[in-house]
Copies of this chain bind each other. A is one copy, B any other.
Amino acid sequence: MAFAVDLRRRVVSEALGTAFLLATVVGSGIMGERLCGGNVAIALLANALATGSSLAALILTFAPISGAHFNPVVTVANAIRGDHPWREVPLYVTGQTLGAFVGVAASHVMFGQPVFSVSHHSRSGIGQVFSEFVATFGLLAVIWSCSRTRASAVPFAVGSYIAAAYWFTASTSFANPAVTAARAFTNTFAGIRPADTPAFIFAQLIGAAVATVALGWLFTAPSGKEP
């Protein structure tokens, strides 16, 4: 919890990092769809590799400043575990959410689209919602364990996990409420209909909660204390 810089700078760091994350997700989706000649697998491959690579670089860049959560459920889970002060959570989440929208807008400007556009991309059904539960559970498990046992590997682990989760979940793994909200406002490859976002965010919250309980149990030593 000892950060070298003040809260204002850390919130800007979260916003900036989340903006680049969304610019990657949305921008690489647009580029992929434009160039793939209708073969969606190639677009998704580019989308997944770009997001995983970018995420690793962004965590390396912004973690020394603000922890590089880029994700409200990560910030909240850290607070529950006592690894982040609760009083900072609202500003962290605000920074992440604003940053996410800035990132969407930035990618739209880069690719000559309207600054925002409401998505018509339907992502609903039990498979999609269960996918978000699985994706978020896994993401939180990766972060929880690596951040305690080998913090230097977190950027690589999270980037690798997300690149894989694009493919092994039916929803392409949003796993992040701020990202989900912002992706409702891009009518491109990475978009999601606003009507489908509540179920996604609900599943993400449940996935994070279950992960927090499960990993807490897994990491309990016989003495009852965390090893």
Contact = CB atoms under 8 A, between A and B. Distances in A.
Contacts of A118: none
A61 B5 contact: no
Contacts of A49: 45, 48-49, 163-164, 167
B110 A50 contact: no
Q: In this complex, which of A37, A41, A148, A161 has the most chain B Cβ atoms within 10 angstroms of its Cβ?
A: A41
Interface in A106-163: 106-107, 109-112, 125-127, 130-131, 134, 138, 141-142, 145-146, 148-150, 152-153, 155-161, 163
A60 B9 contact: no
Contacts of A28: 164, 167-168
Contact of A163 (B43, B50, B61, B106): B50
B42 A168 contact: no
A109 B138 contact: no
Given A57-B161, A64-B150, A110 B125 contact: no
Nearest to A222: B6
Nearest to A28: B167
A72 interface: no
Contact of A170 (B112, B126, B158, B163): B112
Contact of A61 (B42, B61, B146): B146
A32 interface: yes
A220 B130 CA distance: 43
B167 A61 contact: no
Contacts of A12: 218
A27 interface: yes
14 contacts: A5-B219, A20-B138, A28-B168, A35-B41, A42-B42, A47-B167, A48-B49, A53-B160, A54-B160, A57-B160, A60-B145, A110-B171, A153-B155, A156-B156
Interface of A: 4-6, 9, 12-13, 16, 20, 23-24, 26-28, 31-32, 35-54, 56-58, 60-62, 64-65, 106-107, 109-112, 125-127, 130-131, 134, 138, 141-142, 145-146, 148-150, 152-153, 155-161, 163-171, 214, 217-222, 227
Give the 3 A-B CB pairs with smallest separation, nearest first.
A4-B227, A27-B168, A54-B164
